[in-house]
Structure 1
Amino acid sequence: MQIKNAYRQIDVGLGERSYCVRVGAGVRHSLPELVAATGARKAVVVSARPEEWTPDPGIPFLALPARDGERHKTWDTVIELCRAFADFGLTRHDVVVSCGGGTTTDTVGLSAALFHRGIQVIHLPTSLLAQVDASIGGKTAVNLPEGKNLVGAYWQPRAVVCDTDYLGTLPDRERINGYGELARCHFIGVDGIHRLPLDEQITASVARKADIVMADERDTGLRHLLNYGHTLGHALETATDFRLRHGEAVAIGTVFAGRLAETLGRIGAARREEHRTVVAGYGLPTMLPADVDESRLIALMRLDKKATSGLGFVLDGTHGAELVTDVSEKAVADCLARMPRGQ
């Protein structure tokens, strides 16, 4: 990790697909430098933020509005974007810039992956959730009515620019929502992350994800760790029609992962309680919503990409977190039934 001009830089080394992630206040103003390095002659900037918060890429560009939120993370949005790229005359040597939360970086990233079979993309994540996780690692996807992130592709960005100035513009709920991914980091190799200042938490989360992605770009092994809390989390998002936001759902999923790990004899009661304590310390929810049906959650978890034979969860254990497959539905159902319910 390098520190230059008051920003931190984490390099994601993937050979010809390598790129940098910059973290710091005001770092969005380095966008023209990063765009120039791509060799692009024109750009499309897809932004969910006001014009004054959307930096000029330094070359001729088309600005397209975007709307953050899971309801807009759809195949129809991808088609609309790709048609706009075509109308503007983008070539495969040009660049697309996303500026918004994780749903925007996901949708724009998939559009870039598909247009001309792959066009360069730079992400400017503006939510805490997107800065610590969603914009990094090359996973792009949109949702189907049947489940979350079921249509996607791996497409690494040319750069990621995490300007912490954006965080001051977030509503309280959206800021707290971003803590969900930070809370789960405590259990996947960044012990004590919740005790650091926020900018250091962002950097630590990015660095941990970069290490994992460099070791397992295509999610065949170690990268499963990044899905800690996500098996139930994704199911909760869909089951509540996205009333629960991603970080909130992952937070509940992280608490559940601790309870399930204890049920399976992988950890003791103290470590299980640590899951709840870390999540609650961020002001995140720790209980299942009162109105979700357990059988519906299990049906949705069967669609999870880790559920190749039986249900799969990333769970804590004596030697740390790891993917556990063939978890019985009865064990999951019993654990869900015992979990406290909230509003």
Structure 2
Amino acid sequence: MTGLRHLTVPLDDRSYEVVVGPGAASYLGSVLPASARRAAIVTQDSIPVEVHTDLPYERFVIGEGEQHKSLETIGELCRGFARMGLTRNDVVIGVGGGMVTDVAGFAAASYHRGVPVVHVSTTLLGMVDAAIGGKTGVNLPEGKNLVGAFWQPSGVICDLDALESLPDRERRCGLGEMAKYHFLTGDDLLALDLTDRVARCVEIKAEVVASDEREGGRRAILNYGHTLAHALEISTEHRLAHGEAVAIGLIFAAHLANVMGRIPVERVDEHFAVVGEEYGLATDIPAGLDADTLVSLMHRDKKALDGLTFVLDGPNGVEVVAGVDEAPVREALDRMLP
């Protein structure tokens, strides 16, 4: 099949293939573990993609919305796996967006202390970010993605045909993550066709993951814009979707870096130009939120090992900055709060 890109996430004996392009779902069999005898397919009713496998399988449908990205859902899935007799010689296949692959991956990592998982990503956000790299997890009321595991998939399918029916809001979510990669690399991703654009995002993430699989250092740069983004998601009860929040978080991170003297105002303007103009995303914090709530939520961020921690632009590029005082954070928020 022409027009497909075959990429590798290089992790030594755990390396795996990512297939990107229209019709990529037909390659599902090539990325399934050779030992798999049965499959548990985890999906949602709204997912417009049906996967085809020669393996006997059972289908598990999880709920819609972030409230179902929970430990309760993991428990329900694992009980279902137990009822079907799933073993380590079988495979979990997550079919859906970032929420589905996060949940399916964590359930696979937890059940029998680790069952192989393959992701069939159906959203732009999932293809360029969530399905790649092995970070899985669910939310708690106290914060987003606070419980999870690193569990690399055996393969990932990014079938661009699935994007044809993608709602505009889901498209914006993917663009929010894609804009992040612009600042990590300087690449003009919008100059590429869709297959090459998604493939380039996969290449960037794969290179970073290979250098720091368990987020001990460099991998945290993939969370550029995410510290405020996660706080915005929680404080709006997820009325603000992840990619939308990341777009706003990128602008906030630029303001904070400027307040701290790391970048000039011209670089802040570049963030506005890329996020707001080129990608067409909203850049304002929604009305009704306050600095105290947002700062409190940012203190709970999983990167906050040494006080408030952010991924910030600077003279050496985007990097993790720990121990940030609240004063510049509040000044940056004041620039954005209505």
The bucket for the TM-score relative to the shorter chain is over 0.9
Is the counterpart of residue 86 in structure 1 residue 110 in structure 2? Answer: no
Partners of 2:58 and 2:228 lie apart in 1 by: 39
**The one of 50, 68, 71 aligned to 1:54:** 50
**The one of 267, 272, 283 aligned to 1:271:** 267
One-letter code of the match for 1:267?
I
One-letter code of the match for 1:228?
Y
Partners of 1:198 and 1:175 lie apart in 2 by: 12
Ranges in structure 2 where 5+ consecutive residues have no aligned partner: none
One-letter code of the match for 2:328?
A
Alpha-carbon shift at residue 32 of structure 1 (Å): 2.2
* SS of the residue 1:175 aligns to: helix
Contact 2:140/2:146, CA 8 A, preserved across alignment: yes
One-letter code of the match for 2:329?
V
Larger displacement relative to structure 2 (305-314 or 224-233): 305-314
Q: What is the number of residues matched between the two proteins? A: 337
Length-normalised TM-score, structure 1: 0.95
Summarize deviations over 1:55-97 as a string: whole Å, max 9, x none. 1221111112233431210000000101111111111110010
Partners of 2:51 and 2:187 lie apart in 1 by: 35
One-letter code of the match for 2:16?
Y
Tell me the residue number matched to 2:73.
Answer: 77
Tell me the residue number matched to 2:159.
Answer: 163
Structure 1 residues 198 and 51: CA distance shift in structure 2, 3 A: closer
Kindly report which structure 2 residues correspond to 1:238-253, keeping only aligned pairs within 5 A, or say none. Answer: 238-253=234-249
Partners of 1:73 and 1:195 lie apart in 2 by: 35
Tell me the residue number matched to 1:230.
Answer: 226
Tell me the residue number matched to 1:210.
Answer: 206
* SS of the residue 1:41 aligns to: coil
Contact 1:140/1:152, CA 8 A, preserved across alignment: yes
One-letter code of the match for 2:26?
H
* SS of the residue 1:85 aligns to: helix
Alpha-carbon shift at residue 195 of structure 1 (Å): 3.0
**The one of 5, 8, 14 aligned to 1:8:** 5
Contact 1:46/1:63, CA 8 A, preserved across alignment: yes
One-letter code of the match for 1:156?
Q
Summarize deviations over 1:180-224 as a string: whole Å, max 9, x none. 000011111243223333322211111000000000001011101
Over the aligned positions, Cα root-mean-square deviation in angstroms equals: 1.4
Partners of 1:10 and 1:32 lie apart in 2 by: 16
Larger displacement relative to structure 2 (186-195 or 270-279): 186-195
One-letter code of the match for 2:335?
R
Is the counterpart of residue 315 in structure 1 residue 312 in structure 2? Answer: yes
Larger displacement relative to structure 2 (7-16 or 135-144): 7-16
Tell me the residue number matched to 1:305.
Answer: 302
Tell me the residue number matched to 1:329.
Answer: 326
Tell me the residue number matched to 1:105.
Answer: 101
One-letter code of the match for 2:181?
C
* SS of the residue 1:161 aligns to: strand
Tell me the residue number matched to 1:39.
Answer: 35
Alpha-carbon shift at residue 38 of structure 1 (Å): 3.0
Is the counterpart of residue 152 in structure 1 residue 148 in structure 2? Answer: yes
Tell me the residue number matched to 1:296.
Answer: 293
Alpha-carbon shift at residue 51 of structure 1 (Å): 8.2
Partners of 1:161 and 1:328 lie apart in 2 by: 42
Contact 1:148/1:234, CA 8 A, preserved across alignment: yes
User: Runs ≥4 in structure 1, deviation > 4 angstroms?
Assistant: 49-52
One-letter code of the match for 2:309?
G
Alpha-carbon shift at residue 331 of structure 1 (Å): 0.8
Larger displacement relative to structure 2 (195-204 or 246-255): 195-204
One-letter code of the match for 1:15?
D
Partners of 1:39 and 1:255 lie apart in 2 by: 46
One-letter code of the match for 1:314?
V
Tell me the residue number matched to 1:187.
Answer: 183
Alpha-carbon shift at residue 50 of structure 1 (Å): 6.0
Ranges in structure 1 where 5+ consecutive residues have no aligned partner: none
**The one of 27, 32, 47 aligned to 1:30:** 27
Structure 1 residues 191 and 51: CA distance shift in structure 2, 3 A: closer
Partners of 1:49 and 1:282 lie apart in 2 by: 30
* SS of the residue 1:44 aligns to: strand
Structure 1 residues 241 and 86: CA distance shift in structure 2, 3 A: same
